[in-house]
Amino acid sequence: MSEIPVKVKIGERLYPMRVAATDEEHVRKAAKMINDRITKHLNTYPTADRQDVLAMCAVELGAELLRNKQQHTLAEDETRQSLSELSSLLS
């Protein structure tokens, strides 16, 4: 898979990266999501240090990722259970 150079701005810094071409849109959307959260936190806590704001964003996004993984795992388990029940009915 070929990588392409991408520059994303997070906060006040520009980050040059190399990403798979298929991931470029995700990287840009992730940077926008982070910047939106930074703006929200800076509006809520105007005196907050930038490092603290980035840490808050990281914790929020990490917690969101873990919730999504847990929901995905529960959905997989329910699907397996349903398939098992259907298989039993068909047998």
Can you tell me the distance from the alpha carbon of 25 to that of 34, in angstroms, rounded to the nearest whole number?
Answer: 14
Give the Cα separation of 8 and 59 in Å (integer). Answer: 20
Q: What CA–CA distance (Å, rounded) separates 19 from 22? A: 8
Q: Which residue has the higher pLDDT, 74 or 45?
A: 45
Q: Which letter, b or e, does each residue of 48-87 get, where b requires 16 or more Cβ atoms within 10 Å of its Cβ?
A: eeeeebbebbeeeeeeeeeeeeeeeeeeeeeeeeeeeeee
pLDDT of residue 78: 85
Chain segment 54-84, per-residue pLDDT in tens:
999 999 999 999 999 998 888 888 888 888 8
Give the range of the structural domain holding residue 37, as residue numbers without chain letter. Answer: 3-90
Report how many domains make up the chain: 1
Query: What was the pLDDT predicted at 73?
Result: 86
